[in-house]
Structure 1
Amino acid sequence: MAKDNKKSKLKQKLTDKYRLVILNEDTFQERFSLKLSRLNVFVLGGVFSIILITLTTLLIAFTSLREYIPGYSSTELKRKATRLTYESDSLKTKLAILENYAKAIKPVLTGEIEPEDIDSVQAESQKKRIDESKLNATKTDSLFREQVEDDDLFLFTNGANDKANIVFFAPVTGSITQKFDAVEKHYAIDIVAKTDTPVKAVADGTVIFAEWTAETGYVIMVQHSSEFVSVYKHNGNLLKNQGDFVKSGEVIASVGSTGELTTGPHLHFELWNNGYPVNPVNYIDFE
């Protein structure tokens, strides 16, 4: 009975009604009144606390304020870390080259290998003097040289297969802002598209590269038949990994604007054949 009385008293305390009244201090006129109970105050306080905690969490998670919290790294810091990683790899490569050079030249400096006799080398070179008069090009030689230089100027297009044995699928459709220009060494075309637009494989093949680069952001490369390789740069994210097999028209990435050399949301698309860059417009209809 005592327990029941305690429970009833506790329930009575929680459910007892109270009135909150706001009065005019001079006239004592009632301006505002509100009925409350202890239970209502606890419930409202709990709901308000949950909402406040949720809003604070969302504010930190989806805004730049999280960069001021210990443990979070800024986007600029990630970019610098990536660039420093590539620079350190380059320094390691240069250091390895210098070490190999030092090992190669060390026997000469320490006397383990005797240098060749300079006088004998000079004598041998005098015996092999070249008649400079024979080096003057004739008119026929000059014309032939000009023809060869013109042919070699665009060797990357003549050396590639002009006719593909496979049918290519457009990676994205849209307007081309920068065309293939061999003179400017822009061996690709830039296609403007909205962010997160699906990027599709131009043909069946195997992913041979899918990584982040500092200059061109997320890059994916696919090896196709007939010695074709397609390259997709500045992607927002990658949906395939190295070694994955993809079908023609399968989504492999999304349009983005990543990398230091990007100029906005677009796809930088390259097509290579037998090691030479070719104009993708000759093989694919992008409109």
Structure 2
Amino acid sequence: MKSKKRKYWNKLKNRYKLTIFNESTYEEVMHLRLSPLQVLTALSSLAVVLIILTIMLIAFTNLREFIPGYPSQQLRRQLTQNALRVDSLLNEVEKKDRFLRSIQMILRDEVLDTTHYMASSENVKINYDTTMLGVSQEEAGFREVMEREERYNLALGQVSFSDDDFYHFFSPLDGIVTNHFDEGTRHYGVDLVAKQNSNVLSVLDGVVIFTDWTIKTGYVIQVQHQGNLVSIYKHNSVLLKKQGDFVRAGEAIAVVGNTGEETTGPHLHFELWQGGKALNPETFIKFK
């Protein structure tokens, strides 16, 4: 058996002469001395080089798009764009669903469930009203009667609003102003950034005239004060008061948040209006 393998190996190494003659003169033009082993080695090397060149040509050129089953560049671009569109549509549908749920709850005169909009709502205290601490039963009953009678009395008495009253405003939030009042860009308020779950306070005594969730500004609450003055608080995560509630100056009415499309992070957008005219809050309130 070994002798047969040795003979076969010797045959592969045996050299053969390949001669090329001129057909007319029978003159030798050239000759080559090759062995079958050299021929096999040369053919194998050529095949490997051709395979490598073919793979590189397909991998680094557009020829790969002609391979059956391989997606074209245009198809991959369309798949990416469709994935982004589907993600945007899902976000819009979710916002619309939240808006419709809030409208349905308002129509049913139910309390808005804010557990879906604030992950840490368990740590938020809902009862911020401390005005009833240490109050006798007679005084509590008198307050309840007066607040019920004055619930929708937006004038809050016949006291006129003077410029001096501006200097007694409470700051709505212990935060830093990141965007100032600018009528030119239709930014009719100031943006205040503060710690998460910070309380939003009423700047003056007043009556809550609007509480709702909108697509652009999220949870919004508006308070009517004396002197035809209205304060507006936007992008809240939780509303602590409902429409018709009487609030004291410095009383918590909401929790700062990041709701609505027109927001880039947790902050409060605060506005002051009087007689249909926007006022610069920094003129009357000292912020950081």
Q: TM-score, normalised to structure 1's length?
A: 0.46
The answer to which structure has the higher helix fraction is 1
Q: Which has the higher Rg, Structure 1 or Structure 2?
A: 2
